[in-house]
Amino acid sequence: MGRVLREKYTRQPTPFCPGCGHGIFLNAFLHAVDELGLDFDKTVFVSGIGCGAWVPSPHFQADTLHVTHGRAVAFATGVKTANPDLNVIVIGGDGDIATIGGNHLIHAARRNLPLKVFCLNNFLYGMTGGQVSATTPQGDITSTTRQGNPERPFDLVDLARGAGAPYVARFPVSQPRKLKRGIINALSFDQFAFMDVLSLCPTQYGRANRAKRGYEGPSMIWSMLEHQKGTVAPREKLDSENPEGKIPIGEWYAES
Amino acid sequence: MSRFEAMDGNAATAEAMRQINPDVVPAYPITPQTSTVQTFSQFVADGEVDTEFIRVESEHSAMAACIGASAAGGRVMTATSANGLALMWEMVYIAASNRTPIVMTVVNRALSGPINIHCDHSDSMGARDAGWIQLFGENPQEGYDNCIQAVRIAEHEDVLLPVMSMYDGFITSHGLERVQIEDDGAIKDFVGPFTAHEALLDVDHPVTYGPLDFYDFYMEHKRQQVEGMKHARRVILEVAADFEKRFGRHYGFFDGYRLDDAELALVVLSSTAGTARSVVDDLRSQGLKVGLLKPRVFRPFPAEELADALRDKAVVGVMDRSDSFGALGGPLFMELSAAFKIHDVPAKTVDYVFGLGGRDTTPDQIESVFRDLAGIAETGKIQQPVTYLGVRE
């Protein structure tokens, strides 16, 4: 993160593990904020429990509401309703926003208040010790699925679109410029916006799935980034068949 | 043959769960309980138990799944802490009202907010009126032993109530201690086979759980819950007696330490009792007649037995690791004060709220409590009914 951005928008260094994708998101987010000229004095960040929730609170020099596990979107609904002039932004992880709080996400999408929800998806509960979440790919190893996850994950883009979100996006942290552009679009959108940010958790997910995924070489983190780049493709380039099983990235606007 | 191992409270509890081999465990991770069910999930993955392990999406769902599985005729266990228990709240009451004998380990942690992951008893004390039997353990050994006894207590046909087994977050859950682990077969014999009562899925005897129940019968059903709790008082002691016969470790409603001839008594739950015991020894060597009472069973509250044990004391100091805001003091103090009144115990009582959110409680602080009690005994006057230990004021 540039020194200027750091001094302008943050209060303290981040506590994330080496190689955590959340730091890349934080960087991209602040670049987007600066480019857009988003006024932090008129912005409230709401976050729940987990590593992703630590991006805004206590790091940003803005008002933050740090709430219970899963409820950030519901609290944010209250904030926006009480004071519609505020920019209300939710940042959290997949365990928080899509698993224990999944119900709030779909109802916020349905209600379509102009909230911005960024889900930093690292495919498991990082902070509590790497347990399975609703986005853990089937067959992957977590600390509560030692033989591989037997259940199917949510596709968060499909979930949010199905619930009626008029702007949905997915970008990986391995493509930070695209990610930043997407954040700008999400923040400038005048209705509910949801982004599935494909993040990385080397500490929990990387270690547990190193053998299975073939994260090779001395730097597992670099290998994870390379792997992430290889598994995604712009949605425009994928036909409906998608024989290679790539994860589509990009933006989905509701046809209105 | 039993064996000794170095285990923390969560590992010992997971070991107890492995030996009990429940039919269904729905669970959700929350600090400091996490490693209990995480260790247990490893047993499931390794095929060491026959349990269906459900990785639910929230604690509310965990307890809902527990109730469903128990009503369907399974032996069911889970574990949680603090906000996890709070999120279960609705279901915690339903579990007791449906008389589903679920056993849940609650690793005590402060109930947010602000967010805190360290120990106090506000989580399980908040659930004290939910209709669950509540056992508090001091160390990993007691966590292990209580978990095993809880199954027998809950499933007794005169009780059929869910049981919470508590121990202190981090202090006990993550503190490595020497634990005596009994033989798998001996534990299997002790807990016995599971007998379902009025189970769903018995097509010849269909039953309904939890339908509308208004002013015509609701009160009778609540009265039956009271009856179950009354029976629990007897069953808890019977199970403890059988446990002692088989494994040699004594359990009851409470544990006294140098209490019989004590003039000043301290009442405190869970791990702090360990610290208090060393303070009692120190003060005894200085000639002060002090003693300790550590309750094990909080629900059903053994009022008469506690009153009898403390009847001849000059002053009784209660240490509460949770507060009841706007009330007369902490929950343990209020219950004990009521017990003293009802059973005509003349001892003076004062309350000390301590250790909220994991605030360290030192031997010096406990000694200051005893000095305080000695002052009250000497002057006959209570300056302050509730004191907050180690707080900036």
How is chain A classified by DSSP, letter by letter?
--HHHHHHHBSS---PPTT-HHHHHHHHHHHHHHHHT--GGGEEEEE-SSTGGGTTTTTBSSEEEE-STT-HHHHHHHHHHH-TTSEEEEEEEHIIIIIITHHHHHHHHHHT-S-EEEEEE-SEETTTTSEE-TTSPTT--BTTBTT---SPPP-HHHHHHHTT-SEEEEEETTSHHHHHHHHHHHHH-SS-EEEEEE---IIIIIHHHHHHHT--SS-HHHHHHHHHHHHEEEGGG--SS-TT-PEEEEEEE---
Q: Which of A134, A143, A147 sits opposite B38 (nearest CB)?
A: A143
Q: Which of B38, B55, B57 sits opposite A129 (nearest CB)?
A: B38
Task: State how many domains chain B has.
Answer: 2
The gap from C-alpha A171 to its chain's centroid, in whole angstroms, comes to: 9
How, if at all, do strands B24-27 and B52-55 pair? parallel
- Evaluate if residue A251 carries a pLDDT over 70: yes
CA distance A122 to A124: 6
Look over chain B and give the mean of its residue pLDDT values, rounded to a whole number: 97
Measure A49 CA to nearest chain B CA, in Å.
Answer: 9
Output the pLDDT for position A243.
Answer: 85
Measure A146 CA to nearest chain B CA, in Å.
Answer: 6
B 101-160: CB under 8 A from A: 112-115
Quick one: B235 and B265 in the same domain?
Answer: no
- Evaluate if residue B321 carries a pLDDT over 70: yes
Quick one: B22 and B143 in the same domain?
Answer: yes
Fold classification of A20-235+246-253 (topology level): Rossmann fold (3.40.50)
Q: What angle do CA B215, B221, B227 make, to 5 degrees?
A: 140
- pLDDT one-digit tens code per residue, B154-182: 999 999 999 999 999 999 999 999 999 99
- pLDDT one-digit tens code per residue, A162-219: 999 999 999 999 999 999 999 999 999 999 999 999 999 999 999 999 988 888 777 8
Quick one: B317 and B206 in the same domain?
Answer: no
Neighbours of B349 (CB within 10 A): 24
- Evaluate if residue A133 carries a pLDDT over 90: yes
Please report whether residue B154 resides in a domain. yes
Measure A188 CA to nearest chain B CA, in Å.
Answer: 32
CATH for B380 = 3.40.50.920
Quick one: B216 and B273 in the same domain?
Answer: no
Best mutation target, B115, B123, B173, to test chain A (most A CBs within 10 A): B115
Quick one: B230 and B335 in the same domain?
Answer: no
DSSP one-letter code for B347: -
Quick one: B78 and B132 in the same domain?
Answer: yes
Which chain B residues contact residue A129 at CB under 8 A?
29, 34-35, 38
Quick one: B14 and B50 in the same domain?
Answer: yes
Quick one: B85 and B219 in the same domain?
Answer: yes
User: Residues A225-231: what's their mean pLDDT?
Assistant: 94
Task: Please name the residue of chain A whose CA is at the shortest distance from the CA of residue B86.
Answer: A68
Comparing A88 with B198, the larger pLDDT belongs to: A88
Which chain A residues contact residue B113 at CB under 8 A?
67-68
Q: Which of B247, B263, B297 is the last residue of a domain?
A: B247
Label residue A241 by pLDDT band (50, 70, 90). Answer: confident
Inspect the interface and report whether the beta carbons of A66 and B83 lie closer than 8 Å. Answer: no
User: Residues B129-144: what's their mean pLDDT?
Assistant: 98
Which chain A residues contact residue B26 at CB under 8 A?
none
Share above pLDDT 90 across residues of chain B, in percent, rounded to a whole number: 98
Buried b (16+ CB within 10 A) or exposed e, A100-120: bbbebbbebbeeebebbbbbb
Q: Confirm or reject contact between A148 and chain B (CB < 8 A).
A: no
Q: Which of B190, B213, B247 is the last residue of a domain?
A: B247
Q: What Å distances lie between residue B127 and A239, B111, B169, B229, B322, CA to CA?
A: 54, 12, 17, 15, 12
Q: How many CB pairs under 8 A join A and B?
A: 50
Output the pLDDT for position A215.
Answer: 87
CA distance B74 to B24: 7
- pLDDT one-digit tens code per residue, A43-70: 999 999 999 999 999 899 999 999 999 9
User: Residues B38-44: what's their mean pLDDT?
Assistant: 97
Q: Which of B29, B42, B115 sits opposite A128 (nearest CB)?
A: B29
Cβ atoms of residues B313 and B264 within 8 Å: yes
- pLDDT one-digit tens code per residue, B214-261: 999 999 999 999 999 999 999 999 999 999 999 999 999 999 999 999
Q: Which of A69, A129, A132 sits opposite B55 (nearest CB)?
A: A132
Q: Confirm or reject contact between A58 and chain B (CB < 8 A).
A: no
Cβ atoms of residues B71 and B98 within 8 Å: yes
Cβ atoms of residues B321 and B270 within 8 Å: yes
- Evaluate if residue A1 carries a pLDDT over 60: no
Label residue B355 by pLDDT band (50, 70, 90). Answer: very high
Inspect the interface and report whether the beta carbons of B37 and A132 lie closer than 8 Å. Answer: no
* β-bridge mates for residue B257, sequence order: B292
- Evaluate if residue A256 carries a pLDDT over 60: no
Quick one: B243 and B259 in the same domain?
Answer: no
CA distance A196 to A156: 6
For B300, the domain range is: 254-388
CA proximity to B295, closest of B247, B236, B364: B236
Quick one: B300 and B383 in the same domain?
Answer: yes
Output the pLDDT for position B377.
Answer: 98
Quick one: B275 and B238 in the same domain?
Answer: no
At a CB cut-off of 8 Å and minimum separation 6, what does B212 contact? none
Task: Please name the residue of chain B whose CA is at the shortest distance from the CA of residue A48.
Answer: B115
The ipTM estimated for the assembled molecules is: 0.89
Please report whether residue B106 resides in a domain. yes
Output the pLDDT for position A240.
Answer: 80
Please report whether residue B217 resides in a domain. yes
Quick one: B22 and B84 in the same domain?
Answer: yes
The burial of B4, by beta-carbon neighbours within 10 Å (0-12 exposed, 13-18 middle, 19 or more buried), is given as exposed
Please report whether residue B30 resides in a domain. yes
Please report whether residue B393 resides in a domain. no
